[in-house]
Structure 1
Amino acid sequence: MHQIEPYYNWLKFYNVSKDPNSPYDGKEYNFDLYSENIYGYYIDPHWDFMGSETLYIKILFVDYEQAYIVIEFIGEWNDAINNDIMHFKRNIVDHFNAYDINKYILIGENVLNFHGSDDSYYEEWFEDMEDGWICAINFRDFVLDEMQQYNIDSYLNSGGELDVVNWRTLKPQVLCSRINEVISRRIDLV
């Protein structure tokens, strides 16, 4: 797992450690020492701790004017034991909601497992969005299936055109715009 790095080619557009509005503002990354781990497996120092021992994140991009945030995940999303959604909601989502961020793009290629509990934090998060949305892209099918068993899919948009396989080839603003277009079409159909 130590070889799985968060996507870093967008650093020229946004750097979480240099954003004064970020909870990671001023964080210094030590690339000589691997200290964070998931189940005893060390992970790349680029990943950020958000309160969970099994799920780490990297905030790849924030656009405060357009109200977008793109977050990449690694690990096991475990609501049943570690209440990961509570940590994520309280430590990250609530923080950025205070800056009027209401469009969340969650990248889940490196989410290796999901263990659900109830959907109350997802429901709270969804209700906080007002004119926004939450989108899960490139999550593994079995992870999305497990989320569906716990009704999480009622709060997250996923699948179809939202699985942007080539998202790394896009500039962050282009990715956000494409996701917004797809979700807008879905909303118009309802």
Structure 2
Amino acid sequence: MHSIEPYYNWLKYYNVAEDPNSPYDGKEYNFDSYSENIYGYYIDPHWDFMGSETLYIKILYTDYDRGFIIIEFIGEWNDALNNDIMFLKRNIIDHFNGYGINKYLLIGENILNFHGSDDSYYEEWFEDVEDGWITGMNFPAFIQDEMKVYNIDSYINFGGQLDIVNWRTLKPVILFEQVDRIIGRRIGI
């Protein structure tokens, strides 16, 4: 797992450690020492701790004017034992909601497993975004299936055209505009 890096080619557009509105503002990354781990497997130092021992994130891009954020994930999303959605909602989502972010693009291709619980935090998050949306991009099919069992797909849009395989070849604003058009067609905007 230590070789799985978050996408870093957008650092020329946005760096979470240099964003004064970010909870990671001023964070210094130590690339000489691998200290964070998931189940004893060290992960790349670029990944950020958000409160969960099994799920880490990387905020790849935030645009406060357009009100969107792109977040990449790694690890096991475990709501049953670790209440990962609570950590994500309270430590990250609530923070950025306060800055007007209401469109969330979640990249889940490095999520290894999902264990669900109830959907109350997802429902709260969905209500918080009002005129915005939450979308999951490139989540493995078995993760999407498991999330559907817990009704998470009522709050997070998954699958179909949202599985954009070549997202790394796009600039972040272009990716957002493409996803925004897809979501607009889905919800009839």
Q: With structure 1 as the length reference, what TM-score do the two structures score?
A: 0.99
SS at structure 1 position matched to 2:33: coil
Matched ranges for 1:67-106 at <5 A: 67-106=67-106
Q: Alpha-carbon deviation of 1:73?
A: 0.1
Q: Alpha-carbon deviation of 1:82?
A: 0.1
SS at structure 2 position matched to 1:24: coil
Percent of aligned pairs with the same amino acid: 76
SS at structure 2 position matched to 1:111: strand
Q: Alpha-carbon deviation of 1:116?
A: 0.1
Amino acid at match of 1:54: T
Matched, 1:22 2:12: no
Q: Alpha-carbon deviation of 1:170?
A: 0.1
Q: Alpha-carbon deviation of 1:188?
A: 1.0
Which residue is 1:140 aligned to?
140
Matched ranges for 1:34-113 at <5 A: 34-113=34-113
Which residue is 1:177 aligned to?
177
Amino acid at match of 2:18: K
1:12 and 1:135 map into 2 onto residues whose CA distance is 24
Once the two structures are superposed, residues 29-81 of structure 1 have per-residue CA deviations (whole angstroms, 9 ceiling, x without a partner) of: 00000000000000000000000000000000000000010000000000000
Q: Deviation above 3 Å: which 4+ runs of structure 1?
A: none
1:126 and 1:178 map into 2 onto residues whose CA distance is 21
SS at structure 1 position matched to 2:130: coil
Report how many residues are paired. Answer: 189
Q: Alpha-carbon deviation of 1:156?
A: 0.3
SS at structure 2 position matched to 1:127: helix
Q: Alpha-carbon deviation of 1:187?
A: 1.0
Matched, 1:4 2:4: yes
Amino acid at match of 2:8: Y
SS at structure 2 position matched to 1:56: strand
SS at structure 2 position matched to 1:176: helix
> RMSD over aligned Cα, in angstroms?
0.6
2:158 and 2:177 map into 1 onto residues whose CA distance is 16
SS at structure 2 position matched to 1:86: helix
Q: Alpha-carbon deviation of 1:18?
A: 0.1
Q: For structure 2, list consecutive stretches of 5 or more residues without a partner in the other structure.
A: none
2:3 and 2:159 map into 1 onto residues whose CA distance is 27
1:71 and 1:95 map into 2 onto residues whose CA distance is 14
